[in-house]
Amino acid sequence: MAEMPSWMEQINRVLFGSSGLNISGYILSAPIPWSLRRVTLVFLAGEILPALILGGMYASQQFFMPMWAVITAQPLIVLALMWLVRPPTESSPAGILPMDLNVSSLLRYAAAWGVVLRLVSLLVVMGQVAIGFWEDVTNNPLLLAEEPMGPAEQAIIVFSAVILVPLAEELFYRGLLYRSLGRHFNIVIAALVSTAVWTFLHGPVVLYPVIFVLGIALTALYESTGSIWAPIAAHVGFNLTSFLLLWILPGAV
C-alpha cells in the first residue's frame, strides 16, 4: 500500500486519528459477484427511468406525486432493486454492507468529513465564480417543491436527503458501480467513470464540477478505508450541512 504524503498524514491524524487515506486499489480486488450488466440494470431501472418520468412531469406540469414523495421514493427504489436483483449468495442489499460498524467512528466521519467536503465544495464554487462559470442555483430539495410544505413534509425530505439518499447512492455508485468497473478497468478509470455517472444525475450543469469533486473524494474515502460506511457517513455529514446552512444562512446553499 502506497505511503501518504506527510501533509496528508498530518491532516488525517488531526481529523481521524489512526484512520488511513492510502489509495492502492485493493478494494477493487475484493470479491464481488455483481456483474456490470446486473449493475446497469439497477441503474436504468432505479435512476434513469424515474428521472425520465420526473422530467416528463415537469414538462407537462402534471405532478402525480407531491415533491416530498418523489424525493423519498427515489432512494427507496434503488435500495429495493439492489435487494431484488442481488446474486443468490448475497445476504445484504449489495453484499458490501458489513454490520460490524463502530458508531462513534461513523459519527466522527460524518462530522469531520461533512465539514471537509463542504469546504472543498466552497473552494470549487469560488473557483467557478472566479472564471465566470457560475449562476445562482440550488440543489436543495426543500427549495425544489412546487407546493408549500408543512413541518411533516419537510421532515420527510430531510430524512430522505440526509439518510436514505447517502445510503442508496454510496451502496450503488461506490459499492457496486465503482467495484464492478474495477473488474474491467484500473482504479483511475473506475473512479472517473463511476463518479461521472453519479455527477450526470446531479444537474444542473453548473453544479457538475462540485459534484464531481465530491464524488472523487467519496470514492477515495471508500478505497482508502475499505468500508462503505465511511463514504456513507461522510455523505450524511455533507448533506446535513446543506440543511443546516439553509436554516442558518438562507440562500447559502
Q: Which residue has the higher pLDDT, 27 or 181?
A: 181
Question: Strand, helix or coil at 249?
Answer: coil
pLDDT single digits (tens) 70-100: 888 889 999 999 988 888 876 665 566 766 6
For residue 204, say if its preceding peptide bond is cis, omega within 30 degrees of 0: yes
How many Cα neighbours within 13 Å face the side chain of 40? 5
Question: Is a pLDDT exceeding 90 seen at residue 174?
Answer: yes
Please state, for a pLDDT cut of 70, what percent of the chain lies above it: 75
Could you report the per-residue pLDDT of 134-145, keeping only the tens digit for each? Answer: 776 666 665 555
Eight-class DSSP state of 61: T
- Specify the pTM: 0.84
Q: Return d(Cα 215, Cα 209) in angstroms, integer.
A: 10
Which pLDDT score is estimated for 68?
A: 81
Confidence band (pLDDT; 50, 70, 90) for 4? very low
The pLDDT assigned to 164 comes to: 94
Query: 27 or 135: which carries more pLDDT confidence?
Result: 27
Contact 222, 20 (CB under 8 A): no
Report DSSP letters for 81-115, one per residue.
HHHHTS-TT-SSSSS---S---HHHHHHHHHHHHH
| Res 27 pLDDT > 50 | yes
Query: What is the pLDDT at residue 131?
Result: 87
The HSE-up count of residue 95 (CA atoms within 13 Å, CB side) is 18
Q: Please, what is the Cα angle at 188 between 183 and 192, to 5 degrees?
A: 95
What's the pLDDT at 59? Answer: 63
Would the pLDDT of 57 be above 80? no
Domain boundaries, the chain: 28-248
Cα 172 from chain centroid (whole Å): 9
Mean pLDDT of the chain: 80
Average pLDDT of the segment spanning 238-246: 86
Highest mean pLDDT among 1-10, 14-23, 152-161: 152-161
pLDDT digits (tens, 9 = 90+) for 178-230: 999 988 888 899 999 999 999 998 877 888 999 999 999 999 888 888 888 88
Residue scoring higher pLDDT (252 or 232): 232
Lowest mean pLDDT among 110-114, 130-134, 227-231: 130-134
Decide which of 243 and 191 is more confident: 191
Rounded percentage of the chain residues whose pLDDT exceeds 90:
30
Contact residues for 236 (Cβ-Cβ < 8 A; gap 6+)? 110, 114, 162, 163, 166
